[in-house]
């Protein structure tokens, strides 16, 4: 049998505030960094990063933005580290399988939904806020292009607050994959799966939760029962009054999809391309909506984390 060294060299580093919060049972919300490095334009991305953290704090929880610096995975980036990932060129978009490579190469990376969820769960953070999940791509029946987010969510017992999946994906196929792989999906105050920029994707969810306490109890049950169900996806739609205008959305999406094909954009370049297209074609309105989404999700995630901490001692 292999003999492991007494101390591994590759570990996850906790920021000081996050370490203390986890030690004392203070609620913590994990946050991804890809939205900052790859999802929003500079320097607005850095401002949004700070707003997200303030929003989490306002609920009584501690924000823990995850990223990779010089190969080290950090949970709870400080202001200087956030600035570095937000403003430096060449930061890798790092899914779970990229983390060991970055560790070995001592590279910088921004974490995706998959890698943020995996890292958060590993250090004991049960709640995570993002904008939208990755999913099944529209041409996946022939290309097999499916986000690694799905595989990680299938095995990670964490609550992920999102506004559905990006409208550039195959939404019903993504919902089927979530079902096949045992991921719980809860609509927060809705029976419909949200459509990211839109309040309603047009597809229903199986379960609805009207109260944060119900989400917290579902998460508690997932983690205590340990029956192999994966993440609890909390689908948090924008109010209709705050969504992108549906007619504008549909036109811009169609243009963007046509642009991908015309310009031969594929793989990891698709999401940044389409987000940039939405930004340009909506004259910045998509950026405003995107920011609203992540702030609303951070706020709900904070409230879930606080409620979840409360469930812990309910019978003590």
- Please identify, among the stretches 120-128, 241-249, 255-263, 285-293, the one whose residues bind its own copies according to the rule CB under 8 A: 120-128
Look up residue 288 and give its two tokens. Answer: 């405003």
Residue 154 touches which of its own copies, Mn ion, none (Cβ within 5-8 Å per kind): its own copies
Residue 96 touches which of its own copies, Mn ion, none (Cβ within 5-8 Å per kind): its own copies
Of 150, 161, 198, 274, the one binding its own copies (CB under 8 A) is 150
The answer to whether the CB of 113 falls within 8 A of the CB of 39 is no
Q: How far is the CB of 21 from its own copies (least distance, A)?
A: 11
Catalytic annotation, pick one of 4, 32, 268, 285: 32
Strands 109-111 and 62-69: antiparallel
Q: Is residue 173 close enough to count as binding its own copies by CB under 8 A?
A: yes
Residue 151 touches which of Mn ion, its own copies, none (Cβ within 5-8 Å per kind): its own copies
Residue 251 or 312 with smaller CB distance to its own copies: 312
Q: How far is the CB of 181 from its own copies (least distance, A)?
A: 5
Look up residue 252 and give its two tokens. Answer: 């811009």
Q: How far is the CB of 131 from its own copies (least distance, A)?
A: 20
Residue 145 or 245 with smaller CB distance to its own copies: 145
Which DSSP symbol is given to 3?
P
φ and ψ of 146, to 5 deg: -130, 135
- Please identify, among the stretches 38-46, 62-70, 82-90, 213-221, the one whose residues bind its own copies according to the rule CB under 8 A: 213-221
Distances (CA, A) of 271 to 197, 263, 267: 14, 14, 8
Size of the site for its own copies (CB under 8 A): 87
Residue nearest to Mn ion (CB): 145
Which DSSP symbol is given to 240?
G
Handedness of CA 83, 89, 95, 101 (dihedral sign): negative
Q: Is residue 312 close enough to count as binding its own copies by CB under 8 A?
A: yes
Residue labelled with tokens 């690694």: 148
Does the bond joining 88 to the residue before it have cis omega, within 30 degrees of 0?
no
**Binding characters for its own copies, 217-236, by CB under 8 A (x = yes):** xxxxxx-xxxxxxx-x----
Which among 276, 56, 266, 294 is positioned nearest to 196, based on CA atoms?
A: 294
The answer to whether the CB of 111 falls within 8 A of the CB of 68 is yes
In the annotation, is 226 catalytic? no
Of 180, 191, 254, 284, the one binding its own copies (CB under 8 A) is 180
Q: Is residue 264 close enough to count as binding its own copies by CB under 8 A?
A: no
Q: Is residue 144 close enough to count as binding its own copies by CB under 8 A?
A: yes
Which among 242, 245, 241 is positioned nearest to 283, based on CA atoms?
A: 245
- State in Å, rounded, how far the first CA of the chain is from the last one: 42
Alpha-carbon gap, residue 276 to 286, rounded angstroms: 9
Residue 305 touches which of Mn ion, its own copies, none (Cβ within 5-8 Å per kind): none
Catalytic annotation, pick one of 53, 146, 166, 299: 166
Q: Is residue 12 close enough to count as binding its own copies by CB under 8 A?
A: yes
Give the residue numbers marked as catalytic: 32, 166
């Amino acid at each position: 049998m292999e003999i492991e060294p007494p101390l591994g060299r590759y570990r996850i580093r906790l920021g000081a505030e996050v370490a203390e919060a986890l030690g004392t049972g203070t609620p913590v919300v994990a946050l991804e960094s890809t939205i900052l490095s790859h999802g929003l334009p500079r320097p607005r991305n850095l401002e949004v990063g700070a707003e997200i953290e303030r929003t989490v704090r306002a609920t009584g929880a501690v924000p823990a933005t995850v990223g990779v610096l010089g190969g080290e995975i950090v949970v709870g980036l400080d202001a200087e580290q956030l600035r570095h990932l937000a403003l430096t060129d060449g930061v890798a978009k790092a899914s779970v399988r990229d983390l060991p490579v970055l560790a070995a190469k001592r590279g910088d990376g921004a974490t995706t939904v998959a890698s943020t969820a995996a890292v958060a769960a590993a250090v004991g953070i049960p709640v995570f806020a993002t904008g939208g999940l990755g999913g099944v791509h529209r041409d996946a029946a022939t290309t097999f292009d499916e986000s690694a987010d799905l595989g990680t969510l299938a095995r990670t017992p964490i609550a992920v607050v999102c506004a559905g999946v990006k409208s550039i994906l195959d939404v019903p196929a993504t919902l089927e994959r979530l079902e096949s792989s045992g991921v719980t999906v809860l609509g927060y105050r809705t029976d419909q799966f949200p459509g990211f920029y839109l309040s309603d994707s047009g597809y229903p969810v199986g379960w609805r939760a009207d109260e944060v306490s119900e989400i917290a109890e579902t998460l508690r049950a997932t983690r205590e029962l340990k029956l192999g169900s994966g993440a609890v996806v909390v689908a948090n739609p924008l109010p209709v009054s705050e969504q992108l205008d549906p007619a504008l959305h549909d036109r811009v999406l169609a243009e963007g999809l046509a642009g991908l094909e015309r310009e031969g954009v594929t793989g990891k370049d698709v999401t940044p391309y389409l987000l940039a297209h939405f930004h340009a074609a909506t004259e910045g309105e998509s950026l405003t909506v995107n920011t609203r989404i992540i702030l609303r999700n951070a706020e709900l995630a904070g409230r879930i984390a606080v409620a979840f901490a409360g469930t812990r001692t309910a019978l003590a």
